[in-house]
Homo-oligomer: A and B are copies of this chain.
Amino acid sequence: MANRDRRLVLTSAPIRLAGRRRAAARLQTRPLERLMRYYQYVSEQHAPVDCENTPRRPTLHVTSGQIAKALDVDPTQVRKDFGAIGLVGLGRVGYDVCEVCRTIRALLRFDNRYEAVVIGAGHLGGALAAYGGFATYGLRIVAVFDNDKRKIGATVGGMVVKPIGLLGSYIGRHQIPVAIITAPAGEAQRLADRAVAAGVNAIWNFSPTQVAVPPRVLLRHEHISLGLAVLAHRLKR
């Protein structure tokens, strides 16, 4: 009975939105990453191509057990995470695949578009610039910068590499919120400083070193060698 009341509340649009806002505000990195993994799995393995826009009948379902097994997490964890973002399942049936996808997309704001610049036109910078998959999550790379004369003017991921000298004015003029740093360790901090000074709100750092930014700027390190160290250590035991 209490449960039934709750579902009624949750299907009422404005209150449900408020619920989502609260949940979003509270989401820590770990739960966020789990939601992301649920989304990847469910959208790839279970969802019909365009189910997010045109829900099908009969509805497809996925159980917490399926997700848990595929992603090597606890089924209870999945149900808890889903409950926390307002997803309600059906006993003996599971969760509506399209609703799962839609809810996570909305919560994580995949449909908000953000533009980014890549700083460093090396192999990794090129890989990121050329990778189309980020668009799914709302990120579009719009420019690539480098300070190597041999790279400036070359085409990377369909974009002409610009000199670092133009970085600040480009970010300012186009109000770019994200800078992706793929420069070598020795230059990462200096380049991050320039991007921050020009006004970015977030730094996504792929250089193999730590960079420091003011508290107002979001920072995420993508420590690739760190993953390697973990793998190597386990391999060597």
Contacts and interface: CB of A to CB of B under 8 A. Distances in A.
Interface in A114-146: 114, 122-124, 126-128, 130-131, 133-134, 136-139
Contacts of A130: 123
B123 A210 contact: no
Interface string A210-224: 101000001010111
Copy tally for this chain in the complex stands at 2
Contact of A27 (B32, B114, B233): B233
Contact of A32 (B110, B124, B229, B235): B229
Interface residues of A, dominant DSSP: helix
Interface residues of A, number: 61
Contacts of A178: 231, 235
Interface stretch (A35-43, A76-84, A190-198): A35-43
Nearest to A200: B235
A60 to B, nearest CB: 19
Interface stretch (A9-17, A94-102, A162-170, A201-209): A201-209
A91 interface: no
Interface of A: 24-25, 27, 29, 32-33, 36-37, 40-41, 44, 70-71, 107-110, 112, 114, 122-124, 126-128, 130-131, 133-134, 136-139, 177-178, 185, 201-202, 204, 208-210, 212, 218, 220, 222-237
Given A204-B231, A218-B235, 7 more contacts: A33-B226, A36-B230, A133-B208, A134-B228, A137-B232, A201-B235, A202-B234
